[in-house]
Structure 1
Amino acid sequence: MLVWLRYLLLILPALGTAYFIPLPELGWLTFCVLLLLVWAQARRSWLPEHMRGMASLIETLAIVWLGRTYGGLLFLCHLSGMVASSRDGHEPLRLPQLAFHLVALNATLYGHTDLQLTLVANLCALTIGGLLLRLSDAGRQTRDLEQVYDQLRHKAYELDAARNRLLEYAGRVEQLAQAEERTRIARDIHDDLGHKLIRSKMMLEAAIRLMPDRQAEALKLTGQVRDHLTESMDTLRHTVRRLKPADEELHSFSIRRLIDSLAADRGLAVSHHISGLPRPIYPSLEIILYRNAQEAVTNAIRHGGATEIDLHLHYDNERVVMTVSNNGKLPDLANLRKGLGLSGMEERVRLVGGELTFGGEHPFRIITILPLSQEGSLH
């Protein structure tokens, strides 16, 4: 739009001036205006940016000469120069540039028109100049915002890539830990229990061969085999005991433990139901269920004034669904703002490929859905 305005502010004043000059001079005026149009196109498209200041000076001097030579409305061509200055380069129109065009405008009008026309022309130039200043500032701010948006989007891509790398690394660390644990168990069984069992087998075979002729020695070997088997059983118990974590570690993220602590500390009426086919799940999923249940109960007490909490866990073939409902005051879902708690719940669920929903009529429910497949747990 500014490009068309730029050309119109050169063409229309020339057409208006054509009515006030003699016919023999019309051809020369037309030629000069066409040169101005070609210069304007060259200034916009062909000249390098560092030469546009000089081009603006040459164009302004040419308009001053035309205006003082032919008079009429050619002084309005200075408005075209103001529009061009607002488009040159990446910097907005500055006050010194606006002052320069105003001086050139008054130089063109000096001695040719009355004071009233000069005042009107200056007022028009100031108005258009002010609008161009605001438009240039708005364009600069828009470019700054676009640059900031591009930087934020780039940072978001970097964070997303870092999160994916972290998840991949966490999965590999878990796999390595499991492999190391399996190796340790295999070494313990092979080096200790395996050797004892092989020795017991060899002694038992020797006892079988001695049984017909040397029963006393065979009986003695059988007793030794019994002792070795007893030691092997003790070794097996010790190995299994080492595999089992401590009770406080095993139940550190237990839903049952959370419910008991809440009921004891706050005097809540908390109910707990399980349906489907319960089975062991990944520790990472247990932590998510524990944290989400903890946050849901805390929000129900703090914001809803709940006195009764119902927690329902349902297991099916591919997922586990935890529903936490309460009898507290229903929130205004239309104006609900997600704080750190709710945002944290959504982020934890999204990291493992799950889903979080909330709402419904009384009672208010928060539903956490987590996949049980290995692919979903490492999503």
Structure 2
Amino acid sequence: MQPDQVVRRRLTDAALAAVVGALVLTAAVFAGGATALDCTLITVGSLALAAYRSAPRVVLAITTAATTGYVVHAHPGTLSALPVLSAVHTAARAGHRGVAALASAVFLAGFVTTGPQTREVVERTLLLAGWFLCALVTGLADRNWQAYLRQTEQRALEAERTREEAALRRAGEERLRIARELHDSLTHSISIVKLQAGVAVHLARKRGEDVPPALLAIQEAGGEAMRELRATLEVLRTDEPTGTPALLVERARAAGLAVDLRVTGEERPLTAIVDRAAYRIVQEALTNAARHAGPAKVTVELDYSPDELTIGVHDDGIARPSRPPTPGIGLTGMRERVTALGGTLRAAPRAEGGFSVRAELPLGPPEEAR
């Protein structure tokens, strides 16, 4: 609960306690004969109600003792039972029905002593007994209603969680099905094309003939298609990152790409969704640099600030502002990831040559849904 909500609730409880006390004090003054002791007992018994949420049994004990003392001393009317009725209701609502019933009996016993055993006193006592029974019943009913609401809310949350899990499971099953279909239908065909092209190139060189450029292009395209297909199947089989941006940089270096990694700011754990987006952005940017930048040097920058993570992937390759590339699926998906997180993305050729990707991702509380 927010601090301002706590303050408002406490002020409301204090106001209700003051209203109860004012009603009983007004009735005592108009009845006449109210002494300073009577007013003190009424005030203590009523104002104690302000703390009923945090200590219902203590409030019940104080209110019952003070109000019973007032009744025995001053012999007032039935309105004097209002503070005890309120305390009995709140105690029963908190689950202390035995203590609430005992407090009701104590007050009624004190009320019986307010005068001779006349019919009027008996009738008033029976009336109060009915009021206390109602206070107990309504307190228990309110408690059961609150428990029912909590259970309903929990069931709704559980149902929502179950639906989300089922949707994720179905999505995972669909990805695996697509991966199997792609593997079964395309992998074999591409492998055959690549193998046949390789055999043809080998035979041509063995005979001392010039290898046709189209045949070399087919062989190279087959290898590239196999690599892209494997990467696509890997993405389909798992939606979670398989490492960190630093590991991506190491892999790119091992593949022959000149990459530097620079980390500034205070590095800290990220939420799962931001961590996944950062991984995919660096992965896609390095892949594009390896494919399109030519023999270039790449710099990966990670800048951690209190509110956002800035990712920069810059190369000094062949891209020029006069020849902007056509955005492909990779850049489009990258932009969609960043936009979904409320961030910004700039991906364009640099004025000095090469290509630059810069993404700014807002950071939430660390490790909130890892």
Q: Answer yes or no: same fold by TM over 0.5.
A: no
When normalised by structure 1's length, the TM-score is 0.42
When normalised by structure 2's length, the TM-score is 0.43
Higher CA-based Rg:
1
